[in-house]
Structure 1
């Protein structure tokens, strides 16, 4: 029979790495978009 589930016994290291990568990409994309908006606001015609 399969092992019984025990709360708090799951390995989440891969999930934590994936989430950290997602947050890093989100941060840099947000900074890039803000930089584009500032550039457009400064050099608009």
Structure 2
């Protein structure tokens, strides 16, 4: 029971960390698109 709770806690923590990284990456991409409109690779 305790191990199952620990496992779920680790999974949810990793999930939220990945979501935060993806959101920060998208914001960074939007900023770089605004600053480097001519250098966007297709």
TM-score with structure 2 length normalisation? 0.76
Moved over 6 A (4+): none
- Structure 2 unaligned segments of length 5 or more: list them: none
Q: Which has the larger radius of gyration?
A: 1
5+ residue gaps, structure 1, are 1-10
CA offset digits 1:1-45 (Å, max 9, x no partner): xxxxxxxxxx20000000010001000000000011000001116
- Pairwise CA RMSD: 1.0
- Higher RCO (Cα < 8 Å, 6 or more apart): 2
**How many residue pairs are counted as aligned between the two chains?**
35
